[in-house]
Structure 1
């Protein structure tokens, strides 16, 4: 049996201003640099070229004008991308297989405000239903807010995970009908430090220690809420993986895109990590049988 083309989804959760827009623009722009295309041997294309041009414009604004992108407030539509070979014979008869990526961004403003209307409630639920296709989710810890709470990191981290937990509880009844848990749901929840250039001494191991020291109870409570969404919650990883990410170095009015950290790991994180984790869960017989069969076809 031929292998199906791989299409992975990644969901990104972060409060307003945590750097989601800069992160996606930086990732997309870097993969469009001619040197990167030549080195990798593939192009990273947006399914919607107009939206791709907007992302590239934001990247070039950082690169050429040291202008950070404006926040995309309340923008919840997913971004679709695909990898295609750098060059392909024009007379190629067979359709080239490719890897697709869909990036889901849950608007940060929804973490910090009450539902203002029935249409907004429906929009929040619709957005979450879209991103449950993801296998991997990133929960962003904002380095700037950690610095703002220096000496009182516990307050910020507890508030971050607690607010996220309450947001999930608020939409749970709109997502799960008759308490039927979901088989397809993000099962790998990675804690990611955004704006890591502001805290260069903080690596993934130290981030893990910081979160556990100050917010272990809130992280465990978040896992319990997530477990209520998913069928086969033994195959659920929350706060077991950590990464530090910096799109660039922002300093004294300048933006140095060459001084990035962790951005190159985002695509392997969304494509390779879930395959490896699902293989392990499948061996341990922790996954629902139908889901295991579906996921293993892709490996």
Structure 2
């Protein structure tokens, strides 16, 4: 059976840390220790891209931070269960260059690359907006307000420009707001704290951004802390790759956000839905019709029908890591590729790092 395809689009201004994050994301999840703890590992579909990411990370260990990407990159990662040969999940990672936020295309070739990149964004189930933790720490909520305003204006401009050329660009409807360079914040600072600050001090800007994206619930309820590596106190010391935060939680957050998006789409088709209906009530209804969900879900959410065949409602609702790990290990023994990886991802949101790095308030 082919792997499930998850598409994620990553946005961030120049210097926010997208390039470093991608290298850390890949390196952390290719290690034997990660495979032992989480019961899966990842592999770049393109070997050259995988080697390039590892090379960036090893140079990072030497204190050589890579330059930001200036082009639209698409990288595919396969997720393999421990000791099983078949990939269960494939993530398509679309990296939208920060420079494209700030400057016009330099020539016709770059203009065409931007057009092609925008068309791929419509395939994405989840978008990630990366806020620069260093700027947030030094400038406070003024920076976050600027980020939301700037991103809303840019999305509006891209939509109008593409419509004028006959290409109707669409953006992901489910979003995660992630704070990079989280190692700059106190050890007890979590995604819940970030959420509280943003919703308190930038609510008007959040509302504008949701309106531009034409998605009422796009922003304001999924938050992450991400730190690719912690900067050493001694400028001459080596970077410790074990000091990352949130990179192991990122793929699970994308998975759960995809399911949540499908539930929201399904709920929107039902006129009798209660205004107080919870996500898990909606998920329960979706499970009851899992054999026919492809009939009414948009194409980018049709993979949810497969996910819900392998991960039970009880698994999604459970907060007990020990139960989820038991389900995962049982799936490994049976050779159940999909259930092993998907349940392992859900468990990663419940462990100590996941609870600090990821928070959703709805």
Q: TM-score, normalised by structure 1?
A: 0.82
Q: 2:97 aligns with which of 107, 125, 133?
A: 107
Q: 2:57 aligns with which of 49, 56, 59?
A: 59
Q: 1:193 aligns with which of 167, 179, 186?
A: 179
CA distance in structure 1 between the partners assigned to 2:243 and 2:177 by the alignment: 21
Q: Residue 242 of structure 1: CA displacement?
A: 0.6
Q: 1:72 aligns with which of 58, 63, 68?
A: 68
Alpha carbons of structure 1 residues 215 and 116: separation in structure 2 relative to 1, 3 Å: farther
Q: 1:122 aligns with which of 112, 116, 138?
A: 112
Within 5 Å, give how 1:263-274 maps onto structure 2.
263-274=247-258
Deviations 1:103-133 (A, max 9, x none): 1111111222244444433322321211221
CA distance in structure 1 between the partners assigned to 2:2 and 2:162 by the alignment: 28
Please list every run of 5 or more consecutive structure 2 residues that lacks an aligned counterpart in the other structure: 271-292, 308-362
Please list every run of 5 or more consecutive structure 1 residues that lacks an aligned counterpart in the other structure: 90-95, 228-232
User: Which shows bigger deviation, 188-197 or 165-174?
Assistant: 165-174
Correspondence for 1:36: 34
Q: Is the contact made by 1:8 and 1:101 (CA closer than 8 Å) also made in structure 2? A: yes
- The alignment partner of 1:140 has SS state of strand
Q: Residue 164 of structure 1: CA displacement?
A: 1.0
CA distance in structure 1 between the partners assigned to 2:126 and 2:184 by the alignment: 25
Alpha carbons of structure 1 residues 81 and 259: separation in structure 2 relative to 1, 3 Å: same
1:135 aligns with 2:125: yes
CA distance in structure 1 between the partners assigned to 2:231 and 2:79 by the alignment: 29
CA distance in structure 1 between the partners assigned to 2:167 and 2:161 by the alignment: 12
Q: Residue 285 of structure 1: CA displacement?
A: 2.5
CA distance in structure 1 between the partners assigned to 2:167 and 2:266 by the alignment: 22
CA distance in structure 1 between the partners assigned to 2:121 and 2:142 by the alignment: 28
Within 5 Å, give how 1:1-299 maps onto structure 2.
5-63=3-61, 65=62, 67-88=63-84, 96=86, 98-149=88-139, 153-176=140-163, 185-200=171-186, 201-227=188-214, 233=215, 236-251=217-232, 252-253=234-235, 254=237, 255-285=239-269, 289-291=296-298, 294-299=302-307
Q: Residue 20 of structure 1: CA displacement?
A: 0.7
Q: Residue 224 of structure 1: CA displacement?
A: 0.8
Structure having the higher strand fraction is 1
Alpha carbons of structure 1 residues 181 and 120: separation in structure 2 relative to 1, 3 Å: closer
CA distance in structure 2 between the partners assigned to 1:175 and 1:62 by the alignment: 37
Q: How many residues are aligned here?
A: 279
Alpha carbons of structure 1 residues 238 and 101: separation in structure 2 relative to 1, 3 Å: same
Q: Residue 58 of structure 1: CA displacement?
A: 1.6
Q: Residue 199 of structure 1: CA displacement?
A: 1.2
Q: Is the contact made by 2:19 and 2:69 (CA closer than 8 Å) also made in structure 1? A: no
Alpha carbons of structure 1 residues 41 and 147: separation in structure 2 relative to 1, 3 Å: closer
Alpha carbons of structure 1 residues 74 and 45: separation in structure 2 relative to 1, 3 Å: same
Q: TM-score, normalised by structure 2?
A: 0.69
Structure having the higher helix fraction is 2
Alpha carbons of structure 1 residues 61 and 181: separation in structure 2 relative to 1, 3 Å: closer
Alpha carbons of structure 1 residues 280 and 163: separation in structure 2 relative to 1, 3 Å: closer
